[in-house]
Structure 1
Amino acid sequence: MATTQAQRKMIVFPSKNELSEAMAKYTANLSDKFCKEKGIFTVVLSGGDLIDWLCKLVQPPYLNSIDWSKWHVFWVDERVCSWDDPDSNYKLAIDGFLSKVPIPNKNIHAIDKHYAANGNAEHCAGLYEECLRNLVKEKIIPISPNTGYPQFDLQLLGMGPDGHMASLFPGHPQINVRDKWVTHITDSPKPPPRRITFTLPVINSASYNLMAVCDKEQGHAVAEIMKHNNMSLPSAHLSAQVETVWYLDQAATSML
């Protein structure tokens, strides 16, 4: 079922399995499109359950049909901790997805290993932005002509029960940052407290955004955004001016 509410395109799937299959097809199609058009595909991952939902990509027909050598992988947010910490989004992605596909190591752009282990969130944010700026100079990431911020090909996003996306949380000032590409937070309401995150203008400059939401516990936030356009929830700020689609399972729509 496809519908549009408050300018937001929403597709509802009977279960997580169907959502996962659709996400794999969507991602593979965009990979093919961008690899043919410019020889590179820039993909931004998030944490949480998203990596589990990408499992279809490491199975036929996608495993051997995608040109993995042209992928560049980034994170929309990251927990400031050691790479081998169970809280690390990098570790989650490596264990569940990236170790199973032949993306060159140099194309996986993770948070700085040393400063992450030391817990220096501000320094990690600055270094990650420096990484992005260098890749802009190298013509790996373009700058959006509409916004002036880096333009990734596809961002795969998730939303928490409180309506947060990336590490932009309700009632926290990071949602308003405009003078940086990457900012940091040291008092995240969801542990661990130290994180880095793309700023909202960067998130809203992607060519394609896919927001995947599953489970009944997300239902209230989904309803607040889709029915009431509650802009106090960061995920409500995901722009409909770029190609943005919400993938939800049936459980997540329980309050619509």
Structure 2
Amino acid sequence: MDIKIYKDKNEVAVQFSAYFVEQAAGRDVFHVALSGGSTPKIVFDVLAENFADQVDWSKVHFYWGDERCVPPSDDESNYKMTVEHLFSKIDIPNENINRILGEKEPNGEAMRYANLLEIDLDRVDGIPQFDLVILGIGDDGHTASIFPHEIKLWNAEDHCVVATHPDSGQKRVSINGKVINTAKEVAFLVTGASKAEKVEAVIEKTEGSDVYPASLVNPKSGRLIWFLDEEAAAKLNQDPS
């Protein structure tokens, strides 16, 4: 586990963008699963505005780790957010964007997306392998859209699952934990004081932390990297990078 702590969310965005450029360099193809949320929004802005000319976007293929079951025009859509903050600002071929169809019936869409991953990605022990999975962590310890009350979905047989938000009841399509842990690289992007308690629990494996899906992220490759700001890392015994 590699833990990188930076001054604020803007510095996290700059440093993650540099990491992304490095990861994408020299590859014939680069398969990436994106995350939604407030931190990726800032990261996508910085990546598009300051680093776009350093990436051969024709070789980058984008997917999502999870998506809310809403139309792509809805403000809650992770896809819409990514279009606004990244895709609209870079020269990316349309065929390289593989969105989860949030407007479709959730169970059927989870099955379709799982099949898409099987077709597009190499497989390790039958599980599709991303080059990079980007994750966040919720205030409740969820990651992707695997929530604590549905932690059994982590090891679901299907590559993609239908999850239910514990408060709103909103349906979401999410990759499962096996897909996350099969990725060549996994990167957490976490900023803000509200995340500090769960960051401490997950990284330092405090008592009871195993109820948080984020604590189950443990890629077989051993390549797990955390990009944190000082607020999110406030409870850790770590020196800033």
Normalised by the size of structure 2, how large is the TM-score? 0.91
2: distance between equivalents of 1:192 and 1:77? Answer: 16
Confirm or deny: 8 A CA contact 2:34 2:135 kept in the other structure: yes
1:132 to 103, 112, 117: 117
Residue 191 (structure 1) shift? 4.0
Comparing 92-101 with 47-56, greater Cα deviation is found at 47-56
- The gaps in structure 1 that reach 5 residues or longer are 1-7, 136-140
Name the SS for the 1:117 alignment partner: coil
How many residues in Structure 1 have an aligned counterpart in Structure 2? 232
Which residues in structure 2 correspond to 1:24-103 (within 5 Å)? 24-33=17-26, 35=27, 39-49=28-38, 50-60=40-50, 62-103=51-92
Which residues in structure 2 correspond to 1:68-217 (within 5 Å)? 68-112=57-101, 116-118=102-104, 120-135=105-120, 141-144=121-124, 147-185=125-163, 187-189=164-166, 191=168, 193-217=170-194
Normalised by the size of structure 1, how large is the TM-score? 0.86
Check 1:199–1:240 CA distance in 2 against 1; reply closer, same or farther (3 A cut): closer
Confirm or deny that 1:247 pairs with 2:220: no
Residue 192 (structure 1) shift? 6.1
1: distance between equivalents of 2:149 and 2:49? Answer: 40
1: distance between equivalents of 2:167 and 2:181? Answer: 23
Identity, % of aligned pairs? Answer: 28
2: distance between equivalents of 1:131 and 1:32? Answer: 25
- The gaps in structure 2 that reach 5 residues or longer are 237-241
Residue 183 (structure 1) shift? 0.8
RMSD over aligned Cα, in angstroms?
1.6
Check 1:173–1:235 CA distance in 2 against 1; reply closer, same or farther (3 A cut): closer
Name the SS for the 2:128 alignment partner: coil
2: distance between equivalents of 1:106 and 1:28? Answer: 21
* 1:29-73, Cα deviation, whole Å (9 max, x unpaired): 01004x2xxx1111110100213223221123x211210011100
Partner of 2:211: 232
Name the SS for the 2:196 alignment partner: helix
2: distance between equivalents of 1:174 and 1:193? Answer: 18
